Structure 1
Amino acid sequence: MVPQKVISSYHYYDPVHAYFLVYGIKNNNFSEKIKINPNYEEFDKLNQRVINQKDLEVTAVSAVNLWRIADNYYLLRSGSTQRSDVGPIIVSKKKYQRDEIKDLRIAIPGKSFSGYFYYKLFFNAKEEVVVRLDKIINSVVNGEVDAGLLIPGPTTTALYQKYGLVKIADINDEWKNKAGDLPLPLGSYVVSKR
């Protein structure tokens, strides 16, 4: 019997991504040969590590960064997030109009992820403050910022209304107005060419 190769995989704190990667491996009969050792990281830090250090074997990465790492990584078939139904949103305590976003102070969870790229295509707030993803809602609720950029996920876009926040912009709607029915590329998994 051939011993299993242990591969370290890196994921955002999002169980959906990890599930699709493991599902993809198990359904390709790799599970007898490969053991996945999962590691979890805040997504902006993980993107920066993939872009700058290029030292991970298997990792999630924001789709907007694929061109930066193409010399060192192959794109995997499983684990990608391409959405037609949901995308990043901008939330606040007050119902601002779309054209007022340029005058706001907005919390963002970093600048190396796809949601930030799409936000910048359509909006440009007066000031951006980098806040850890899981702290953005509280930053808006506590009045530290006027608005917050939330990425799709059960811990963000599904919870903002429970905190009395309102959606003032939907990046997916902006994308559909420009790109039609093309899905919004958000994240992918890659494997090192080593």
Structure 2
Amino acid sequence: MEIAFSPCPNDTFVFHAAVHGLIPNVPKLDVTYADIDKTNYWAAEGKGPAIQKISYAALPYVLEEYALIPCGGALGRGCGPLLLTASKDQSPSHLTGKRVAVPSERSTAYLLFRLWAADMVPGGVGEIVVMPFHEIMPAVRDGEIDAGLVIHEARFTYQEFHLNMLVDLGNWWEEDTQLPIPLGAIIAHRSLNKEEITSWIRASVEYAWANPEASVDYVMQHAQELSPEVAKSHIDLYVNSFTADLGEDGMAAVASLLGRAGAEGLVPEFDLSLLRIGL
């Protein structure tokens, strides 16, 4: 069975056992390692594997064909994207009319940023520039971009680029809604057995927690030059109870984010009941 997820430590940690045949009743998996900005568009275009990791922000584009799997993804607290600048001016109004780099326009990070900016930046920001997330911090440091929206391990490394955090958008979201942050979702084509997929993904998560050393080599093989310490911090932050079970709080967070984004015209409006169909 074909599956696509990112090479980031949280994904390789979660899927290590399933990929390596350590879980009973898991079909042999053919893995494509792809950043979420690619899988977001693959799923929307009906391309790519039948099981994929995408951003929750991309769900409105794919729910007719794919079901949300209630485990294996990334959703939590204290793990949101950061908005960084090289400027010492830390007032939101500093961004009025400015160029901002984002890793994808179909990402939770982007939705959080646009919802925050609508409330906090007078007159709105200027040009939005999409670039690979690993290029954003150097571009902000070098003055090519006025501000950058960063995700993943950049939370732990942005100080190395002498950048300043203008806002932690995860903290803003949690204070505003009292809900966790929906980041990455696992989806499966609706022709597949969602219950079976949920079962073996959840078993892979539980195996990873019970045997944390088993996946170290696999994680570091794909960790994009991260140190073991940063990779572990990444896993500790993004793999949590919501990874094993989205639950009612997780579902409420997804519905709130996508409902608000739809009302702002940031994503297509859709029937929220599709989030639960097939679960």
Q: Same fold (TM over 0.5)?
A: yes
Counterpart of 1:104 in structure 2 is 98
Counterpart of 1:128 in structure 2 is 128
Greater strand fraction, Structure 1 or Structure 2 = 1
Contact 1:13 1:43 in 2 (8 A): no
Counterpart of 1:148 in structure 2 is 148
TM-score by length of 2: 0.60
Give CA deviations for 1:21-45 in whole Å, capped at 9, x if unaligned: 455x58xx85444112211123212
Cα separation, 1, equivalents of 2:190 and 2:16: 19
Change (3 A) 1:178 1:121: same
Greater helix fraction, Structure 1 or Structure 2 = 2
TM-score by length of 1: 0.85
Change (3 A) 1:33 1:178: closer
Counterpart of 2:54 in structure 1 is 61
Displacement of 1:55 after TM fit? 4.3
Displacement of 1:188 after TM fit? 0.8
Cα separation, 2, equivalents of 1:47 and 1:185: 15
Unaligned runs of 5+ in 1: 1-6
The size of the alignment, in residue pairs, is 182
Greater Cα offset, 106-115 or 38-47? 38-47
Cα separation, 2, equivalents of 1:51 and 1:143: 34
Equivalent of 2:170, from 156, 169, 172?
172
Aligned residues: percent identity? 23
Runs of 4+ in 1 over 6 A off after TM superposition: none
Cα separation, 2, equivalents of 1:31 and 1:95: 54
Change (3 A) 1:121 1:133: same
In structure 2, give the amino acid aligned to 1:158: F
Give CA deviations for 1:112-136 in whole Å, capped at 9, x if unaligned: 1111011110114212111111111
Query: Which secondary structure state, in structure 2, belongs to the residue aligned with residue 140 of structure 1?
Result: helix
Cα separation, 1, equivalents of 2:26 and 2:148: 44
Contact 1:114 1:186 in 2 (8 A): yes
Cα separation, 2, equivalents of 1:164 and 1:144: 15
Displacement of 1:50 after TM fit? 0.9
Counterpart of 1:160 in structure 2 is 158
Counterpart of 1:95 in structure 2 is 88
Unaligned runs of 5+ in 2: 118-123, 192-279
Contact 1:18 1:79 in 2 (8 A): no
